[in-house]
Amino acid sequence: MLQKIADSRILLETHFAKSSDVVPFLDTIEKLALEVGTKAEVNSVDILTDNTGLIVGLKASGSFEAIYKFLTLLENSPYELDFPSIDMHKLAVSGVSDENIQNLKWEATFRIQLLSFVP
């Protein structure tokens, strides 16, 4: 019985990030990006003034499909997340050809609020 409770507790704790150790959460973000072929770069990490959440600024680049899949993986990650803002745009391409159209690169800037945050 105690082992079952301990196992459940360990599983439950994987859904939360503690203020003293947000590295596993940031590692999860980077791992998800790699899984879909997106380059992701964390550019800011801030704790809300009332200590109720963590805000992560993130820039991702890649194909539209890869960034969309990355967003889907983030939404379905074990963490409870909110996306206060997402800005996605395609990068400029010189000249129009079939190859350029198929290889269009996109860039997205995310502000992610980690709701499952333990101060």
28 φ/ψ angles, rounded to the nearest 5 degrees: -60, -45
pLDDT tens track for 61-79 = 999 999 999 999 999 988 8
Sorted by where each starts, the structural domains of the chain and their CATH numbers stand as 2-118 (3.30.70.60)
Mean of pLDDT over the chain: 80
Tens digits of residue pLDDT in 12-46: 444 444 544 678 888 889 999 999 999 999 999 88
For residue 87, the one-letter residue type is: D
Total-model pTM: 0.74
pLDDT of 68 reads 95
DSSP state of 20: T
